[in-house]
Structure 1
Amino acid sequence: MPTRTDQLRLDDGTAGLPVWLPASGRGPGLVLIQEIFGLDAYLAGVAEDLAALGYVVAVPELFRRFAPGWSSAHDEAGVTRAMEVSGAFDPARGLSDVLATLAHLRALPEVTTGAGVLGFCLGGSLAFSAAAAGTPDIAISFYGSTVASDLASLAEVTCPLQFHFGGQDPFIPRSDVRAVEEAVASHPGAEIHVQEDAGHAFHNNVAPMFHNPEAAARAWELTTGFLRRALPA
């Protein structure tokens, strides 16, 4: 459960913003960005894991304008329904929400030494977009499906940036991942890790159809190491 719920000020009103605090009560900030499944048990678990590492974590509800409180099952029917619901999502509006959450974190007295973004799937794409907007101190993107088509934006990224992909992802062709690998090779401060034995959403431990425990463990070790180097708690 979140430690508290803040009120996030947006250009079209306010929204509840779940916030997880570390045991110390303060630390660097992280915006955790959802998959199409919404703020569910998986995302809450990731928030708890990050808070346990010493981060102040905030999770904006990106679908609140058209599906408040949305979360779905992690099976074939749930994926189908989640894709239907996410069809109403406006990426530009979502990016605005992410950046507003980042600004909110930076203004909190509990947040020290900067704030970054970390996202999965839909959130992985938005994490990259936020990095290109030039505002986070660090960005981590897990299997963002629009990353390859937006690689021109990589030139705008100045913060440390880490990508994760699955080599067997049916939603992101390996050729797209290869294009990201080639672009990252010449971009200072960026790195990419591909779990060749994993598919999409391999880190989601409440989705049996996606979860790859071994790949998830490897990727999470790389993630926490990156956080320790670039935004230490």
Structure 2
Amino acid sequence: MALCPDLFWRQEPGIQLNDKIQKDWDRAFELYQGFDVDKGIDDIQTALSWLRKADGSNGKAGVIGYCLGGFLAYLSACRTDTDAAVGYYGVSIDSKLDEADTIKGHLLLHVATEDEFVDKAAQQAMHNALDNHPRITLHDYEGMNHAFARPGGTHYDEKAAKKANDRTLEFLKTRLG
């Protein structure tokens, strides 16, 4: 079962944006700049708690996120009771690497090596801090840019997306199954 919480409900409930429209792209960055990460993590914990009690649940719950959501997936692994977290090309993870020791579940990160929003220094810092963590797996996607797994996106790459999605599915089956 899947749940997609509206994490922007405090700013603009129910907002729908199209990345192919400049006005929407600009609005997305405004929302990103005003997003309260700590409250967002609280909302994710609430969603995880609800999922665990939902009819048909096996009591385990995880999170998946892309871009800002990839950062939130990382922080969810650090700050919530999630069993499994998956982050695709998460931004700003390098700013919170000191929280990795608090991870109790498991974390899978997909890193685009040519990410226009996560530079090489940030990627290296992530690898330096996380590669030897027993609960974290990082996969690099050589030559891939941000949003390589988003169908219809500018940088979509079918082969890399399939590889990342297959890895995600196997990870979730193992951790949540």
Asked which structure has the greater RCO (Cα within 8 Å, sep 6+), the reply is: 1
Rounded to whole Å, the distance in 2 between the matches of 1:186 and 1:165 is 16
TM-score calculated relative to the size of structure 2: 0.93
Rounded to whole Å, the distance in 2 between the matches of 1:210 and 1:75 is 13
Greater per-residue strand proportion: 1
Unaligned runs of 5+ in 2: none
Residue 212 of structure 1 corresponds to: 157
Give the CA RMSD over aligned residues. 1.5
Unaligned runs of 5+ in 1: 1-55
How far is 1:86 from its partner? 2.5
Residue 114 of structure 2 corresponds to: 168
Q: Is residue 22 of structure 2 the alignment partner of residue 79 of structure 1?
A: no
Residue 94 of structure 1 corresponds to: 40
Rounded to whole Å, the distance in 2 between the matches of 1:71 and 1:210 is 21
Residue 4 of structure 2 corresponds to: 59
Residue 30 of structure 1 corresponds to: none
Q: Aligned with 1:114: secondary structure?
A: coil
Task: Please point out which of 141, 146, 152 is paired with 1:195.
Answer: 141
Q: Aligned with 2:58: secondary structure?
A: strand
How far is 1:202 from its partner? 1.2
Kindly indicate whether the alpha-carbon contact (under 8 Å) linking 1:169 and 1:200 is maintained by their aligned counterparts in 2. yes
Greater per-residue helix proportion: 2
Rounded to whole Å, the distance in 1 between the matches of 2:101 and 2:113 is 25
How far is 1:200 from its partner? 0.7
Aligned residue-pair number: 176
Q: Is residue 14 of structure 2 the alignment partner of residue 69 of structure 1?
A: yes
The percentage of counterpart residues that share the same residue type is: 30
Q: Deviations over 1:150-199 (max 9, x none)?
A: 10110101211111110111110022112112222221121101111211
Q: Aligned with 1:194: secondary structure?
A: strand
TM-score calculated relative to the size of structure 1: 0.71
Rounded to whole Å, the distance in 2 between the matches of 1:102 and 1:119 is 14
Rounded to whole Å, the distance in 1 between the matches of 2:26 and 2:39 is 23
